[in-house]
Amino acid sequence: MKLRPAIGRWVERADRLNDWRLVRLHRWRPPGPLEIVPYLGFGTPRRLHFGGRVLRRVEHRAPQAADPAWRNLLAVYRRMASDEVPRARVRAELGALATQTQANDEGHFQFTVETAAPLAPGWHEVALELLAPLARDAEAATATARVLVPPATARFGVVSDLDDTVIWSNVRNRLRMLTLLLRSNAYTRKPFEGVSALYRALHQGATGGEGNPVFYVSSSPWNLYTPLLDFLRLQGIPEGPLLLKDFGSELLFAPTNHAAHKLRHIEQVLDAYPALPFLLVGDSGEQDPEIYAEAARTHPGRVRAIYIRSVDPDPARHAAVQRIADDLQRAGVAMRLVDDSAAAALHAAQSGWISAQALEEVRADKRLEDMAPRA
């Protein structure tokens, strides 16, 4: 009997039992203060995708640079132990457009709406209101979802992983990953050297004003959505939809589901923009090379290049990634195993996707961050 799959099945059963318990608990439990946590959405002038989650409201203290490990641990625990509101009803309104939907047992809700008139490029605000359940003697829970419509000037899109691609997370070593979470927070963690400048360069494109959209597809749990978004903003990394994963047995024990999760969201993004080619950015620590190669094969002509940050020192892993790259090269897709952001920027500049000036800015940013201490 294999221990890991067995544990995974037991955790999955416990997770389903807990969902069943929460659904029935919320039937008679008087609603307390509730909140809508909106997620960044995306779409086209005619079709929008956006969503969020309904939770019992918890006041989260803003992290500080000098926070000790116990406070970071408490902050992570409070987010991971979120009390979702199953099957809540949420209303969305954008101009004359109004619609409603029901959340699932985890409190997640999704909207896909068609607009009556084409929307202009840029970020659009959608008003959200909780219809049920309603908290007693409390103001109605409302929020604003922001939805991105990329401009016609966009030449390509970017799909990027987060852990060990943008943020140093050490996901291959769970103990070190936990230690890092205790030692840092969204205000003290730093991206890999040169990442901020590289992603700004890709977003701006060769002309400096292309507005190429950036999407972040990760197996990080939705519970960490807000601190991850705070991290992107604080580090000057372009905002974009974060497509994360539900916290539970699948997050902990199912690497095959990890691949299915990423592929599903990559396909969702590619399908939303059929005329737009994409660059995929990941790392060698887990399955990004295999996942991205599958996406490139399934969608021929849609993936221009794949950048894989080398984070696994094992020669066997390096050789395996190189074999995938050689196979993709024969299919006309460039996969580059790179040591840092400057190497990826050099290939992007040579391919005409970013300017020579942007390349120098990535190199300068990397030099500056090389000299700075890492949290």
| 7 assigned to some structural domain | no
Confidence of residue 219 (pLDDT cuts 50, 70, 90): confident
Same domain, 249 and 115: no
This prediction's pTM = 0.85
Domain end position, chosen among 149, 179, 206: 149
Distance separating alpha carbons of residues 175 and 173, to the nearest angstrom: 6
pLDDT in tens, 11-34: 344 444 444 444 444 444 545 789
| CATH code for the domain in which residue 65 is found | 2.60.40
Distance separating alpha carbons of residues 247 and 77, to the nearest angstrom: 12
Domain end position, chosen among 149, 167, 193: 149
Domain total of the chain: 2
| 285 assigned to some structural domain | yes
CB 306, CB 336: distance < 8 Å: yes
Domain end position, chosen among 114, 132, 149: 149
Distance separating alpha carbons of residues 32 and 83, to the nearest angstrom: 11
| 299 assigned to some structural domain | yes
pLDDT in tens, 340-356: 999 999 999 999 999 99
Backbone φ and ψ for 180, nearest 5 degrees, come out as -65, -40
| 17 assigned to some structural domain | no
| 1 assigned to some structural domain | no
| 16 assigned to some structural domain | no
Same domain, 221 and 310: yes
Tokens coding 227? 């601190």
Same domain, 242 and 355: yes
Domain that includes residue 217, residue range: 157-370
If DSSP codes are grouped into helix, strand and coil, which group holds residue 323? helix
Cis peptide before 238 (omega within 30 of 0): no
| 103 assigned to some structural domain | yes
> Starting at the edge strand that comes first in sequence, how are the strands of the sheet with 108-114 ordered?
97-102, 89-94, 122-132, 142-149, 34-43, 47-56, 108-114
**Position 177 pLDDT exceeds 80:** no
Same domain, 59 and 110: yes
pLDDT in tens, 256-315: 477 999 999 999 999 999 999 999 999 998 899 999 999 999 999 999 999 999 998 899
| CATH code for the domain in which residue 192 is found | 3.40.50.1000
* Secondary structure, 3-state, 153-195: CCCCEEEECCECCCECCCCCCHHHHHHHHHHCCCCCCCECCCH
| 8 assigned to some structural domain | no
Same domain, 196 and 59: no
Confidence of residue 146 (pLDDT cuts 50, 70, 90): very high
